[in-house]
Structure 1
Amino acid sequence: MLLGIAYGQDSARPKIVSLIVQNEARIINLSPKLAAMAPEVAYRHVQSERTIGLTSYGHSHWDFACVILANFAQSHPELIDTLLKPHEFAFANSLSQPSPTFFDDALPFIRVLWEVSPASFQRVLSHIDTTKAEVGWANALRGRENNREPGAKANARQVAALLVHHAIERTDGVGALARRFRERFPALSIPSKKSLTALMDNNDSPRKT
């Protein structure tokens, strides 16, 4: 908490990064906050086949995961699979939940993931629990069972629509689920043009849209 507050001050950032570097050899599972603060430490961490905590205790840290994935895409794309594979099942578990609160802030990450690693995206889809997702994606598309934060319902709806869009040609149960949703929700299950637009700029860093 204190590191995060201090990191907001430009003058403190080099000292914080230096502190993280001094302790990196002792860290097994690097927190996503520290990985975002010190990208070079994150790269070395994954190169040494240690994990970054993009997911924990049944939750996916979507915002940090998006920033970290974009950093890796820009500087070390060869490490993306190593970064993501330990978390693909947990990502899928979050995206399968009956309550859209588990994925209503996942939209930027989902967009970047499809852009920089379609193979990982498809592996995540392969782990979707179709029984739970049948409920959760419907709730998301209908704007139900979500919190009242501004934009939460719209974002969850776009996440579900993107999942349907990218799964619809699969030949497994997830593909069948996507086709059912396209039939049930012919308009709501189509993602917006904005959601289908590339989120990374020519320098492989997220741009604001």
Structure 2
Amino acid sequence: MSNTHKLPLSLAAQPTICPYVLTLTPAERAALKHQRPRCLWLTGLSGAGKSTLANALEVALHRRGQHTFLLDGDNLRNGLCSDLGMSAQDRQENIRRTAHTAKLMVEAGLLVIVSAISPFDTDRKAARSLFGRGEFALIYVDTPFSVCAQRDPKGLYQAALSGRISNFTGLDSPYECPADADLQINTEMQDEAVAVQTMLRFLSNS
């Protein structure tokens, strides 16, 4: 069940809020780090391999001397989004917060990796819309439900199938497969090393 909370008002509804224009630009912060800031957003079912791939990708980028940060969905729900439940409204707010956090980190000059189920197309599109041209890439970790259920690393599929938890993505809550993914990876067909190399090549070529 969703916790009771109030979603933030838009700027238009808060006339006393006037965003301050900063002297330093995102481009100047990026230049100091000698890299191109971007947000790589990994979406897919629970158990698809998003967190594993995101972590391995960050390690590979770190070894190349790049400044990175990984925003993992479960980690965010332990802090920034700990007040949110699993209703459609709460999931939308979870992705909104994650996307705005990622945007701030991109503006700080970082290469940000997001690992989040982010099941709804409208929420992923809203996240993409926050970023400038070439700053956002959606990576669809396309692993079949049956494979994810067999892996079941957190025991969630067993709990959902037995009725102990509800609103589970892919079962009684939908996962809307992205038609606009910039890169698609199937962890049933590709092992971790190959998938990471695929993502690194994508970064180099896009």
- Return the TM-score normalized by structure 1: 0.30
The structure where strand makes up a greater share of residues is 2
Flag the structure with more relative contact order, 1 or 2, with Cα contacts below 8 A and sequence separation at least 6: 2
- Give the TM-score, by structure 2 length: 0.30
Q: Of Structure 1 and Structure 2, which has the larger fraction of its residues in helix?
A: 1
